[in-house]
Structure 1
Amino acid sequence: MKTKFLLLFLLISLFSIAQDIKFSTKDNDLKLATLPYYNYGRGLGLTSPDSIFQLNIRFRMQNRMGFLNNEDQEDAFEGQVRRLRLRFDGYVGNPKFLYAIQLSFAPGDVGEIEAGENINIIRDAVMFYRPNKHWSFAFGQTKLPGNRQRVNSSGALQLTDRSINNARFNIDRDFGFQTYFLNEKNEQFSYNLKSAISTGNGRNVTKSPDDGFALTGRIELFPMGAFAKDGTTFEGDIAREQKPKLLLAGTFHRNVKARQSQGQLGSDLFEKRTMESLFVDAMLKYNGWSLMSSYMNRTSENPFAFNPEDATDFNYVYIGEGFDYQLSYLLRTNYELIGRFSTQKVNEDIRAFTPNTRQYSVGVTKYFWEHAFKIQSEFTLDDLTYFDGSSKTNWYIRFQVEIGI
């Protein structure tokens, strides 16, 4: 399988480089498909007088407050800057040669500083060669082409955060090569093909080199043509599709000799493990209505890893599956009503150590300038069922403001 993926990647690369189709940008809105940040405007753009250099600057901020009620714990309030990010992108020398940088500064993004670990300020640092409107080649650190909700910017979500299944089963940023072939057409059947070869270790990792790697492949189908305003890159039908639009997509990911319990994420394993992930997702939008559904799965032949110095100490790969269902309607007043239901079922091998979960969420969002400036409110309830038959119910109420350029 490894050889087939490598040969496919090389063939796609050679085919694209052989083409000589002229392509140029007309403005500073680069719309990099590999990085589907939500864009309402064009940010702050600077272009050199000789037009051989372009820099576009954006920022966004999420401020959040909430009330949490967890069984066996005291009720608590939270207040935090959930996300604070800067993004820079542009081209150097020629619009075919692009770059994108995204930095994060909020504590929840950076994480706790631990001895011997890197500070996670860098989220994206990637270079592109885009010879024409169909092909893109990327080298550096950025998101892998995984599940639709995960790939989309956290600033383009309808609720205040992604689902529990995205938190547990999805793949994340990684360092490596990516190739995209984009063939979206407005009123007819279209498709996109995306692939990646990466380290499998996640972002900002400088540990000793090893022989692990990750392979990712994704296909996206548009049976009714492309969405208006790149509508797959944001949740909710804020473009108010005049005709029904449908996305059907699937991703397969194999992480060979992964170091962490969730591949690019999670805690360090005592021993490396190979894991495979499957994602299937769908999106339907029409006249203010939006329906999203997804399935996520992670498997590993031997999920347990034991401490070589203590056989009673172990950890494990988080394996299992989950479903998400999300429905919304955007009123003419730009208030949106959202509901989401998620189920998460862990594999029987690790059932004794972590619960199955059902999550119910309802929310109301007010859009001022689409996703670039919005106010969000959400109520979420988690039902947790444990191996011994016991259960717990946790819930929270959350208020969040998103603003950016």
Structure 2
Amino acid sequence: MKKIIFLLSMLSFGAVNAQIDTKKDIEDIKISSLPYYSYGKGLGMTSADSLFQLNIRFRMQNRVTYFDYEEQESNYEAQIRRLRLRLDGYVGNPKFQYALQLSFSPGDVGEIEEGKNLNIIRDAVVSYNPNKNWSFLFGQTKLPGNRQRVNSSGSLQLTDRSINNAQFNIDRDFGFQANYFQQQKDQFSYNIKTAVSSGNGRNWSGKDNNVALTGKLELLPFGTFKKGGDYFEGDIQREEKPKVMLSGVLHKNFDANAARGQQGDKLYENRNLQSVFIDAIGKYNGWAGMVSYMNRTTDNPLTVGENSDGLQETRYVFAGEGMDYQLSYTFPVSHYEIIGRFSTQNVNDAIYKLNVPNQKQYSFGVTKYIWEHAFKVQAEVTYDDLSYHTGDQKNNWYVRFQIEIGI
């Protein structure tokens, strides 16, 4: 009898242990199925089996601006200039990546116009990166254009890009891109970037025959910048050795139907456009300097047709050229920065005679970096000098305060 009781006790103990082990196994299974979280540039989540990764980022720019323009009553504007949500990561394999960026502020989306698509989508692109040297992209994203345009608007020293970038840049487009990178920390480096795109800009859904070709060469004679500093403004990383990037871009947009190629009012006749961009940026010990040249040319910038009222109207390609010069210094302890920029813009003679002005712009700004470019406070004063074909002169200026924050 004692043997039977002992045997039953052992069986009961084993059953309890088996139950405990089963519960533990269940908990282990649950934990192993949860995603892994990371915190760096945004909030990252990686599946337990590493088959997908999602990184979430946002940023916003809140600003208030006081304007004093000739022949206009002084006024102010308070707005959310930019509100962006960015998702990126990979699916299946880290070599296959994606990036999605949406915009929600009125200044980003623009007014809803009949017959035009809503401009919420900024980026929607898939990339294949077989190794550290090659990258292939398909979808809608920024073309490899001028340096300041390829910079994120959140990585600017002043509150906005220059007047030349506003008129001559080639912005975003849908198509294929192929990039080759040859980068070394302290040795001569270079990048080659190419694109074949629709030429119609972002969120285009119509049928057309035009196409755009873009090629860009970047040279880094003293090696790469700290943390990719060739694509954010200001020497907030304080380069210990001089760093320089020189770049050149040639862009051709065949049978373009908009005034600025990928952007602007619709033309009455299609035009072949050519753009050239030449940039140089240097950084050392808190100092940062930039100079850039931009132009857009076409055989005949004027197109003539009838507007909705049946009246003859001229619409034009914004052709011309411009130069930007920018210099800044970031103080080492306080992380305050002072910035100055001077821009000149000269339009094509044919549209100058339509009283489109040549322009000079002077900007001075102060930035306080709280957390690099992700959290900063900016103040800027800008003065514009406009010269018209009629001989008229106009002088406009504005003062702006802006806070940028994001992850």
Tell whether the 8 Å contact from 1:134 to 1:182 is kept in structure 2 after alignment. Answer: yes
Tell whether the 8 Å contact from 1:28 to 1:42 is kept in structure 2 after alignment. Answer: no
Residue number in structure 2 paired with 1:86: 85
Normalising by the residue count of structure 1, what TM-score does the alignment of the two structures yield?
0.89
Provide the C-alpha distance between the structure 2 equivalents of 1:173 and 1:28, rounded to a whole number of angstroms: 31
Alignment of 1:172-211 (within 5 A): 172-207=171-206, 209-211=207-209
Alignment of 1:318-333 (within 5 A): 318-332=318-332, 333=334
Per the TM alignment, residue 312 of structure 1 is displaced from its structure 2 partner at its CA by 3.1
Per the TM alignment, residue 311 of structure 1 is displaced from its structure 2 partner at its CA by 7.7
Residue number in structure 2 paired with 1:396: 398
Letter in 2 for 1:49: A
Select which of 241, 253, 256 maps to 2:254: 256
Q: Which has the higher contact order (CA 8 A, sep 6+)?
A: 1
Alignment of 1:24-63 (within 5 A): 41-63=40-62
Question: 3-state SS of the aligned residue for 2:259?
Answer: strand
Per the TM alignment, residue 308 of structure 1 is displaced from its structure 2 partner at its CA by 5.6
CA RMSD between the two structures: 1.4
Deviations 1:294-322 (A, max 9, x none): 00010000111111676831101000000
- Percent identity between the aligned chains? 63
Deviations 1:222-251 (A, max 9, x none): 011111111011000011000000111000
Residue number in structure 2 paired with 1:158: 157
Per the TM alignment, residue 352 of structure 1 is displaced from its structure 2 partner at its CA by 1.6
Residue number in structure 2 paired with 1:170: 169
Letter in 2 for 1:393: N
Question: 3-state SS of the aligned residue for 2:251?
Answer: strand
Provide the C-alpha distance between the structure 2 equivalents of 1:308 and 1:395, rounded to a whole number of angstroms: 36
Cα distance change of structure 1 residues 28 and 259 upon mapping to structure 2, 3 Å threshold: farther
Residue number in structure 1 paired with 2:221: 223
Letter in 1 for 2:350: D
Letter in 2 for 1:143: K
Provide the C-alpha distance between the structure 1 equivalents of 2:345 and 2:41, rounded to a whole number of angstroms: 39
Runs of 4+ in 1 over 6 A off after TM superposition: none
Tell whether the 8 Å contact from 1:28 to 1:56 is kept in structure 2 after alignment. Answer: no
Letter in 2 for 1:88: L
Residue number in structure 1 paired with 2:23: none
Per the TM alignment, residue 42 of structure 1 is displaced from its structure 2 partner at its CA by 2.2
1:386 aligns with 2:405: no
Provide the C-alpha distance between the structure 2 equivalents of 1:42 and 1:83, rounded to a whole number of angstroms: 19
Residue number in structure 2 paired with 1:18: none
Deviations 1:250-304 (A, max 9, x none): 0000000011000001111111111000000000100000000000010000111
Question: 3-state SS of the aligned residue for 1:262?
Answer: coil
Residue number in structure 2 paired with 1:246: 244
Per the TM alignment, residue 116 of structure 1 is displaced from its structure 2 partner at its CA by 1.4
Question: 3-state SS of the aligned residue for 2:265?
Answer: strand
Alignment of 1:281-300 (within 5 A): 281-300=279-298
Task: Give the number of equivalent residue pairs.
Answer: 368
Select which of 364, 367, 371 maps to 1:365: 367
Deviations 1:39-92 (A, max 9, x none): x93211111111001000000000000100000000001100000000000000
Provide the C-alpha distance between the structure 2 equivalents of 1:343 and 1:66, rounded to a whole number of angstroms: 23
Provide the C-alpha distance between the structure 2 equivalents of 1:247 and 1:28, rounded to a whole number of angstroms: 35
> Based on CA coordinates, which of the two structures has the bigger radius of gyration?
2
Question: 3-state SS of the aligned residue for 1:155?
Answer: helix
Q: 5+ unaligned residues in a row in structure 1: which ranges?
A: 1-26, 30-39
